[in-house]
Amino acid sequence: MKTFIKAIPKAELHLHIEGTLEPEMMMAMGKRNSVPLPYPDAASVRKAYAFDDLQSFLDIYYNATSVLLHEQDFYDLTTAYLKKAAAQNVRHAEIFFDPQTHTSREGIAFSTVTKGIHRALQDGEKQFGITTKLFLCILRHLSEKEGLETLEQALDYKNIIAGIGLDSSELGNPPNKFKELYKRANKEGFLTVAHAGEEGHADYIWQALNTLHVARIDHGVRCMEDEKLVEKLVASKVPLTVCPLSNVKLHIFPSMKKHNLKKMLDRGLLVTVNSDDPAYFGGYINENYMAVQQALNLDRQDIIQFAVNSFNASFLPQETRQRYLDEIKTFVQHAHEKTDRDN
């Protein structure tokens, strides 16, 4: 099963590029950019990754991003992720970035962040064959006014930024807070998604759908608390980008065996598996697949369904999506033939 998971073509739809900053790269960039860090080495950084909740993670996460100063830093960070993703047979990635985290620091321009990431995505497609879409995430713990100012900056980069998302501290910052921002984003033609139903209750998902009019829900695991919501999500085929290792690490679920991912899949939800902030939560996409497979006793058909869902939940044009789905079909056929030969 591990070999099968490693080899099956897949898409990743919930990945924060800042969350791929591995401790070794963090230390190296800190040294390169003369940014002092409160850790003597990479091992001590990893020891700090014992989180009580979402906020305790965010506190460390935002501090770590202080080493990212120059366009080359964002290029290097993104390239490192794409190299890792390619090795795990990710064929398409829809990537979040948090410009407000960086532009709030003196001397870092919106263009520095955006151009560094975009240049890496362009080079990555040539080098690794991974197609991508870039999503700007609005920090929900900040005001809508600040978010609108960031959205305004994004208008000059519509050829680079495909969509708008909403992340950071969920509790106390409901989707309704950003009604006008999303109204503007939708009007400007951006794709729109939002984190909802991770720590926030199921009503946050309703708000994201009915007030923000998003096309996809990031996380969304608490939808199972509301049967009417589940029925709507199933009927409307609204994708949910679930991040299992993240959910356990941040105590959304007490253990992987208690995760509701299999129940969501069996209920007919368009649910996908993703890594969120893999440098902090113990694994990239394959590690997430393997963790849920082992804990929830998933079979091959479940894994295939997650892979198929990952492309169907993407914002790829139909022709490209179908090409990837055909890759899965061919892969599965060859895997079955090999199993038959071995038996």
> Nearest to residue 194, comparing CAs of 242, 137, 251, 277?
137
Domains of the chain, earliest start first: 2-342 (3.20.20.140)
d(CA 133, CA 190): 12
Rounded Cα gap, residues 236 and 219, in angstroms: 17
Q: Between these two residues, 272 and 63, which has the higher pLDDT value? A: 272
Question: Predicted confidence band at 52 (pLDDT cuts at 50, 70, 90)?
Answer: confident
337 compared with 149, residue with greater pLDDT = 149
Residue numbering of the annotated binding site for Zn(2+): 14, 16, 195, 276
pLDDT band at 343 (very low <50, low <70, confident <90, very high): low
Residues known to be catalytic: 198
Residues that constitute the known binding site for substrate: 277
Give the residue from 172, 90, 98, 102 showing the smallest Cα distance to 134.
98
Output the DSSP codes for 311-342: HHTS---HHHHHHHHHHHHHHHHHHHHHHHHH
Structure-token pair, residue 211:
């007030």
Tell me the per-residue pLDDT of 217-239, one tens digit each, with 9 for 90 and over.
Answer: 999 999 999 999 999 999 999 99
**Res. 339: pLDDT tops 80:** no
pLDDT for 195 beyond 90: yes
pLDDT in tens, 94-119: 999 999 999 998 889 999 999 999 99
Residue 33 near residue 67 (C-beta atoms within 8 A)? yes
What is the chain's mean pLDDT, rounded? 95
CA angle 186, 188, 190 (to 5 degrees): 60
